[in-house]
Structure formats: structure tokens, C-alpha cells
Structure 1
Amino acid sequence: MRPEPERRIVVVYSLEPWDDVWRRNQHLVSRLLAADADLAVLFVEPPADPLHAALHGRLPRPGRGRRRVDHPVRGGNGDLEDGDVTRLRTYQPTKWWPRRLDPHGDRRRARAALRTAAHQGPVTAVWVNDISAVHALDLTDAPVLYDLTDDWLAARRSPEENARLTAAEHRLLTESRAVTACSPALVRDKGAVRPDIVLLTNGVDVGSYRGPLERPHDLATGPVALYVGTLHADRLDVDLCARTAQDLVRAGARLVLLGPDALQAEERTRLVRAGAELMGPRPHGQVPAYARSADVLVVPHVVDRFTDSLDPIKLYEYRAARRPVVATPVAGFREAGDPLVRAVPAESFPAVVVHTATSPGTSGEEAEEIPSGLPTWDSQAALMREVLGGLMRPPAARPR
């Protein structure tokens, strides 16, 4: 009898938690697990920060530690399937103190995650999406993949934070066994340091946008301009949103923002007073119904070097929804080449959104077939499997 192959363990240091709002990492990881019965994943979530929560009026709590994910995975056909969820664990550490008081906290948390993964078996690869997990390079002999999804060096950060990020990114670019990036801009801009970066864009579940989808009962009545995505001032132009919301209200329409709220209290108050509706997040399986029910899908993003580095998932989801799209001229949307997508300057953005939302003929049945060239999460997961497959080789490395 042939012995069963040893299970391969991948540790994923993620920028987002594993929750109902699926992002790049969850789409890719779920498909990798569905395609490879010998693969197991420890999905390391961002640490809980009790002190930060308390200072911002939220209930402080420690990290949830290691837990089983009782969630079906997605199969190759895009439909939800009951998978072997025992092969997927999440781990959330706790960040008790800010980095200036605990400069070795990131290293300690990275080591704790590797030790936690050892409960599932020897670690065969480490997938770093959170730049703070750079210390994994020192803590294990397992090959490291750096999946680059944001140009944090272009984001607005303090000089101290920018110096930390610069040093960490340089190490990850030069010392990781392989590097993937979600956008052509990232491949180009980081190519001087790492010329062999693999372009691995985001994607969409095309099948979930096909067929009749009922209008969600909690979506505002009347014309709706809908934004889908995390609300964060690094991306979202709050002033532009407020102006657009005011103009829509005067025209008998609404600006609806659907997604996790990472805004400051003052920013949130300004939007609500302007007439915007902040709905909060919805499970990823419900998002297509909201997008297909909107009169216009909007992208009121800041246009700067940071947003130019991104590959917005909403670019593919919006196009799959086949609704009119109005965006500021940010990466992806300005080059979309789709008759339903318009990229306009911020000065004219509110007027174009109001006109599109309230014009006859923008609601009803889908305008046309979903474009055939859209990248899907299945195709992107297959590419990620090739990259990871090139890294994982015996003997498996254990944490030092």
C-alpha cells in the first residue's frame, strides 16, 4: 500500500480577517483548498488591538487565537461546496501595545503564528500579504511568497511608520523566494528592486452575477448610486462623496455606501449629514444582488500614487454587474474600455452621477452579456497554485 502524502501547510499572513466580506486572500485560499486535498492553511488575521479599540470608543477584546473555520469553500465551478474545513484554521494574535512601546511585537506575533501552524504539521510555505510579517524571513526556513497588493510607501503615513514600511518592503522584495503583485503599476514600480514579479490580478465570480437577482429589501427605494468596498480615507474621497450625496438628495436619489466602515468619526458624520446612507458590510454572496439593483455604481476615489497602485476588486465586480459605472480617473477604470464605464474628473463627478442615476433606462434588466475577458477567481487561484507549487519542496521546514 502506498503511503498517503504528507499534508502541506501554508501560513498566510493576511491584511484582512477571515469573515463574510470576502477579499482577495479568501477567494484564493478557498479555491486552493478545494483544488488540493493535501493542502492545509493557517490564515493569520490582523491582530486585535484592545488599546486602540478602547481609545476609539469600541469594546476592547483580545485576539481570538486559533480557531476552526466552519465555512464551505468554493469549488472550481464557483458554487459553494461543503469542503474539508478542518484543513483551514485562522489565528488572531493580540497587539497589546503600540510599536513605539513594544518594538519587538511584530516579530513575537509572527513567531507565535508559526508555532501555531506546527499543530497542523510542518510548514512548507509562508505567504506574506501583511508587510508587518516580514520577520517570518528570519523565523523559518520555509520559502516565503510576498503577495504585494498595496503600495504602502505611497500612502499617507508618519515618517517613522514610512521608514518601518520601507525597510520591511525592501527585505520582502529582495529575500522572498517569489513575489506576486495585483496590479501592473506595482509590477512596474517595484520591478527595479525585484524584476521577476508575477502579475496576479484580482478577479470575480462571474457566475454569481448571472441570472435574475431580487432587489435586496434593505436597499433604499428610488434611484440609488451604490459604492461597494471598504470605507477608508486612503481610498475614498470623503469630500467628493459628501458633495455627490447632497446633489443626489436634491434630485430625489441616494448615495449608498456598502462595506466595512474604517472612517474616522468626523468623516462618518459628514457623510451622514450630507444624506449618504452607510449600510455596513454584507456577506460576499449577497453583494451581486445589491450591485445589479443599483441605478449607477460609483467609484469616488482619491486619485494619487497610492490608489494608482491598486487593482480594485470592484473593477471586476462592477463590470460583471452590467450596470452603468461612474468613477474618478483611477487605475483600472480609466483604462477599462467598457462602454458602461465612465471615468470623469472629480469636478464633474457629482453631476454625472446624478444624471446617470436619474435618467430613464438606467434601471431594469442587465444591459448586455458579461464581458468574456474578465479574470475570474478560479483562473487567478490556478496561477497562485503554480507559484506556490514552485516553492513547496521537501524537506519541510519547521519554525526555528
Structure 2
Amino acid sequence: MIEGHDILCFAPGPWDDIWRNRHQLMSRLARANQVLYVEPWPELRPTLRRLRHGQVGLGDLKPPRLRRISAGLSVFRPATWAPRATRVPVRAVTDAVFMASLRRAIHALDLQRPILWLFLPEMDIFVGRFGEKLVIYHIVDEYSGYTGISAGWRPTLQRAEERLASRADLVVVTSPELLQRKKGLNPNTVLVPNAVDYEAFAGACGSGQPAPRELADCPRPVAGYVGAINDKLDLPLLARTAAEASRWTLVLVGPVIVESPDGQQALDQLRSLPNVKFVDARPVEDVPRYVAACDVCLLPYRIIEWTKHIDSLKLYEYLACAKPVVATDVPAARRAGDVVEIAPPAETLTATMEHALSSDNPDVRARRRIIASQNTWGIRVEQLSAAIESTLRTRLEPAREHSPGAANPAAVK
């Protein structure tokens, strides 16, 4: 792992969100580096809209906050009373407030020449503002494929991504499909897939612990999905499956963030069924127990641009628990081979769930765990570190030509 660097990470979600790629990586890099995780800067129009609708009160408009998570990891929350504006006169004011408060946090932590780590196309506005020694653009999704993105906004988003990728020193993608699509934007683009905290999941699933309280009395068998419940899931398919598979309990664990009308309608149907159970998002340390409580785990993705480019973090977690996995026909599931049951195009997942349960055996369970053990976050941190060190060496080559005594790249701060 790289050591002794300062990392300024602009994240697309809060630290206390369900754990994703960025949480796993930054928490590990912070063991040998100083990481400042910057939570999303709220936008003015959505904030005003939430105020008008009573979704937030004036008491929710808070000042900036810097908090220490561990010796090497701090989290900065921007002021919610100064959200980002889009119109120039107001934007100048909110930008100044944001930058001043962030620079105070950077000064308090004594960050020097940080590695600037960015996750979204619109974050190109931060490049060149912090004296950074390296810019990383980390692509975890085909952002233009998000279902909430309007057709009119997609070209703007794609131009922003092209601009950021061209300015970045290193572009990281999480799936082969993203690599194929993005490698033309920057010659220094590397594939670093998602992974699993193998010890946590394999340990929970082999410990014989009782099922979590919410699932203790659920009739068996249990088919479960653990993760964000959003518009990338085929919720109508799940609703039809739950209605047909009356002997099964369908468990959905995670925050519900559904905007599409058909998704909302399917949610209403799911909530009305007696064999469906929703569980709110759980702390990261509890998640393995919910996977362990499932007899079959589900990846019920819609077949859309968004899901055609994902590398499912959930899949690695399911495999670490050696669970049978039923998935719709997305590339991420196909890459796993025969340890995942791909559901054929059908009205429901019921037949595939039944086959996955009945055909489970010790040999395939062992192979699932082998695949998971070869895809851990520790391995991913080492892959990222190698790419970062290589990029730093390349950047320093011109300096070495003019200054033979230039510092070792790993020591540059």
C-alpha cells in the first residue's frame, strides 16, 4: 500500500451512508496515509425545494463540520446553509464559503500537496485548486445511464466526464465494460474492480450466529437482497416473483431510493404482500449477518445502460458467504461463471430460485468462497497503490531529467 501521502477525496455520498467502494478504499488507505473525506456539497435548488415542502427545517441548515473517524481519516461536511448555486452572482458567494471552510479543514489537518480523488464528472471544478500532486478520476458507474438523468442533461454530463478524464493523471474504472467505454478518454486508465471484506462475510456466514432479530421468525426459504433499493433493481419482477413464490420469504435490506412510477407501484405491491419483509439500512458491521440469514441471494437488476456497466459489490459479498446467487442477465453476473444462476427472460425468478436452492452443494460453495477470497479490498488497495506509484514515477520523469536529485515519488508530499 502507498504510505505517507495526503488524500483529498470528494465523495458522491456521506460517510454515514451504506458502505460502498469509496468507504472500503478510504478506510484502508487511511491506515498508512492521511485521508480527508469530503461529503457532497448540497445544491441550492434542491435545498430550497425541500425547505418549501417541509422535508427539512431551518434547524437542519448546519455549519461546516470536521470530525475525526480514526487517526488517519477525517470527514468534512460542508455547510448546508450555503448550498451550491448555479447562477453566477450567488455561486461566487456560496463557492467562497465552501472553499474557505474546506481550506480551514485542510489547514487543521496540515494536508500538503494531496492526491485529489474525484468520483463524479461535475467534480472537475476542483482540479487545480489544492496544489495537488496527482488527480484520480474514479468511475464506478456509467453515470449517463442513471435513470434519473434527463435526455437533455446527458450530453452535458458526458462533456464534463470527458473534460475531467482528460485532466486526470489516472482514471480508475470498476468493470471491463467501463474500461472498454472510457479508455479512449485517457491513456492512463486502469481496471480495479469492486471487492469484499472477505473475513467479515466469510466469518459471519460460518459462525453459527443466530439470524438478526428482524429475520429470526421468517418462514424458510428466504431469498434476500442486501443493498440500496433503487431504480437499477427490477422491482416489478420482484413483485411478480413474491406474489407467485408464496412458500418463499422475500427480504429486502437497505435504504429505499426509488423515483420511477413503475418502481413506486411495484414497491406498493411488495409492501402489501405477506411474504415480503423490508429492513432499513444496517450498519456496515451488521450487514454480513443479514446475508448469512438468506438461503438464496438475489441480484435482480434491470437490463439498462446503468446495469450493463456495473461491477456488483453485492456479488462478492454473497460469494464470500458461499450463498447461491440468482441474477438477471447482466454482464457482472455472467463474468462470475457457473457460481451464479442466471435467470432466463421470464415473468418471475421463482424457477431459478428453486433450482439454485436445490442444486446447492459443498463443491460449488467452496468455489464461491475461492472467487471471493481472490477479490478482497486488500488486494484492490494494492492494485490501486501500484497504479498510483507508477503514475507518480511517470510524472516525475521530466523533473528528474532536469534535477538528478529529485525525491522518490513515494516520499513526495
TM-score (norm 2): 0.79
CA 1:133–1:246: 2 relative to 1, 3 Å: same
Q: Residue 213 of structure 2: SS of its match in structure 1? A: coil
Q: Which amino acid aligns with 1:282?
A: R
Aligned counterpart, 2:321: 321
What is the root-mean-square deviation in Å for CA atoms of aligned residues? Answer: 3.1
Aligned counterpart, 1:150: 141
Q: Which amino acid aligns with 1:385?
A: S
Aligned counterpart, 2:123: 133
Supply the distance in 2 between the matched residues of 1:256 and 1:364 (Cα, whole angstroms). 24
Supply the distance in 2 between the matched residues of 1:380 and 1:168 (Cα, whole angstroms). 27
Aligned counterpart, 1:73: none
Superimposed CA distance per residue, residues 353-383 of structure 1 (whole angstroms, 9 cap, x where no aligned partner):
55258x6686999943611563100010122
Aligned counterpart, 1:281: 281
How big is the shift at 1:225? 0.9
Q: Residue 139 of structure 1: SS of its match in structure 2? A: coil
- Which stretches in structure 2 are left out of the alignment for 5+ residues? 393-408
CA 1:169–1:32: 2 relative to 1, 3 Å: same
2:28 counterpart of 1:31: yes
Pick from 15, 19, 26 the counterpart of residue 18 of structure 1: 15
Superimposed CA distance per residue, residues 240-294 of structure 1 (whole angstroms, 9 cap, x where no aligned partner):
121122223xx23221111122124935434312453221111122222211221
Aligned counterpart, 1:216: 212
Supply the distance in 2 between the matched residues of 1:292 and 1:365 (Cα, whole angstroms). 18
Supply the distance in 2 between the matched residues of 1:345 and 1:108 (Cα, whole angstroms). 54
Higher helix share: 2
How big is the shift at 1:395? 6.8
Q: Residue 67 of structure 1: SS of its match in structure 2? A: strand
How big is the shift at 1:110? 6.9
Moved more, 262-271 or 199-208: 262-271
Pick from 242, 245, 248 the counterpart of residue 253 of structure 1: 248
> Does the CA-based 8 Å contact 2:343-2:352 persist in structure 1?
no
Matches within 5 A, 1:89-238: 89-93=74-78, 94=80, 104=91, 111-112=99-100, 114-115=102-103, 116-121=105-110, 122-142=112-132, 143-156=134-147, 157-208=149-200, 209-210=202-203, 211-214=206-209, 215-219=211-215, 221-222=218-219, 223-233=221-231, 235-238=232-235
How big is the shift at 1:144? 1.0
- Which stretches in structure 1 are left out of the alignment for 5+ residues? 1-5, 71-84
Supply the distance in 1 between the matched residues of 2:385 and 2:195 (Cα, whole angstroms). 15
Aligned counterpart, 2:399: none
> Does the CA-based 8 Å contact 2:194-2:313 persist in structure 1?
yes
How big is the shift at 1:343? 1.0
Supply the distance in 1 between the matched residues of 2:345 and 2:99 (Cα, whole angstroms). 45
Supply the distance in 2 between the matched residues of 1:161 and 1:152 (Cα, whole angstroms). 11
Q: Residue 311 of structure 1: SS of its match in structure 2? A: coil
Matches within 5 A, 1:285-304: 285-304=285-304
CA 1:40–1:63: 2 relative to 1, 3 Å: farther
Superimposed CA distance per residue, residues 36-85 of structure 1 (whole angstroms, 9 cap, x where no aligned partner):
1xx21110112346435446663342356233244xxxxxxxxxxxxxx1
Q: Residue 281 of structure 1: SS of its match in structure 2? A: coil
> Does the CA-based 8 Å contact 1:299-1:328 persist in structure 2?
yes
Supply the distance in 1 between the matched residues of 2:11 and 2:102 (Cα, whole angstroms). 14
Supply the distance in 1 between the matched residues of 2:237 and 2:52 (Cα, whole angstroms). 28
Q: How many residues align?
A: 369
Supply the distance in 2 between the matched residues of 1:255 and 1:31 (Cα, whole angstroms). 34
How big is the shift at 1:131? 2.7
Aligned counterpart, 1:75: none
Supply the distance in 2 between the matched residues of 1:384 and 1:107 (Cα, whole angstroms). 31
How big is the shift at 1:217? 2.0
TM-score (norm 1): 0.81
Moved more, 117-126 or 6-15: 6-15
How big is the shift at 1:204? 0.7
Q: Which amino acid aligns with 1:271?
A: L
Supply the distance in 1 between the matched residues of 2:167 and 2:248 (Cα, whole angstroms). 52
Supply the distance in 2 between the matched residues of 1:380 and 1:216 (Cα, whole angstroms). 30
Q: Residue 168 of structure 1: SS of its match in structure 2? A: helix
How big is the shift at 1:95? 7.5
Supply the distance in 1 between the matched residues of 2:358 and 2:410 (Cα, whole angstroms). 59
CA 1:242–1:107: 2 relative to 1, 3 Å: farther
Supply the distance in 1 between the matched residues of 2:39 and 2:247 (Cα, whole angstroms). 41
2:37 counterpart of 1:46: no
Supply the distance in 2 between the matched residues of 1:127 and 1:42 (Cα, whole angstroms). 10
